[in-house]
Amino acid sequence: MPQTLDQHALFTGLALPPGGPLYLRLRRWIEAAIAGGALGSGDALPSERDLAKRLDLSRVTVRKAVQELVRDCVLVQRHGSGTFVATTPPRVEQSLSRLTSFAEDMARRGMPVTSFWLERGLAAASPEEMAALGLAAPSQVARIARLRLSGELPLAIERASLSSAILPDPQAVGTSLYAHLEARGHRPVRAVQRIRAVGIDSADAQLLELPAGAAVLQIERTSFAASGAALEFTRSIYRGDTYDFVAELSLGDQHGELRK
């Protein structure tokens, strides 16, 4: 049996904060209800129709406020079910000054890790892959894509491309790509990582259980063999709300120089 409107804890003091457009006032009102404890993690909000009726707004206006909070991962909406206060997973830290595998990294902090193959096969190289790997046209590449999870929580998408000359049989790759490469005599000695913030596209958003457009870290890594040839190009997407990359810098006497 659903609560009646008047019983809902939200409506004990029901004045929208002043100033600006209605949807922003409603947004602040909801944020305040969460900050003030009237709504806790996982709690259901009243339905959009109830909110609209109770606050004398149109449903469109209510939706605009709610949508912004969904985009910012404050609320979660489930089609057919309702709108809920998001349960924010604890943040995860990863060192930037080490090149470690995802599995090692999570094991070190005692988190159960699973991963899910999204793709593992050979394909014609895209122009981007050819440029990143220094391939001559037209070539085949091995593609290895995984969804990484900690327990039930999706954390990252990793998409690696390698020349089929380096990795002719991608199906043989097990839990660690690096271990597989090393076993075949391909050891990276150098890597370049490029980190940027992007809004996630809707396909990847679904995999990571995020709203489309949410801020995520995109990390592109190209690793090189001793010969100087590019071994691997990986583009990874890490959830911005759960992942922190940590870099520790030791400073020498020359201003601005990294020592260690």
Partner DNA sequence: CAGTGGTCTAGACCACACC
Partner DNA sequence: GTGTGGTCTAGACCACTGA
Residues binding DNA (CB under 7 A)? 2, 21-24, 45, 47-50, 56-61, 63-64, 77-83
Based on the shown chain and the rule CB under 8 A, indicate whether residue 184 belongs to the binding site for its own copies: no
DSSP 126: P
Q: Give Cα 115 distance to the centre of its chain.
A: 14
Based on the shown chain and the rule CB under 8 A, indicate whether residue 169 belongs to the binding site for its own copies: no
Nearer to its own copies by C-beta: 60 or 131? 60
Burial class (CB in 10 A: 0-12, 13-18, 19+), 64: middle
Nearer to its own copies by C-beta: 172 or 249? 249
Give the binding range for its own copies (CB under 8 A) out of 7-15, 117-125, 137-145, 244-252.
244-252
CB of residue 52 vs DNA: minimum separation in angstroms? 7
Based on the shown chain and the rule CB under 8 A, indicate whether residue 124 belongs to the binding site for its own copies: no
The count of residues in the chain is 260
Nearer to DNA by C-beta: 83 or 234? 83
* DSSP codes, 24-89: HHHHHHHHHHHHTTSS-TTPBPPPHHHHHHHHT--HHHHHHHHHHHHHTTSEEEETTTEEEE--PP
Binding to its own copies by CB under 8 A, coded x per residue (else -) over 76-105, reads ---------------x-x--xxxxxx--x-
Amino acid present at 252: G
User: Which one of DNA, its own copies, none is in contact with 59 (Cβ closer than 5 to 8 A by kind)?
Assistant: DNA
Residue 126 and residue 8: Cα distance in Å, rounded? 55
Residues 207-226 that bind its own copies (CB under 8 A): 213-217, 223
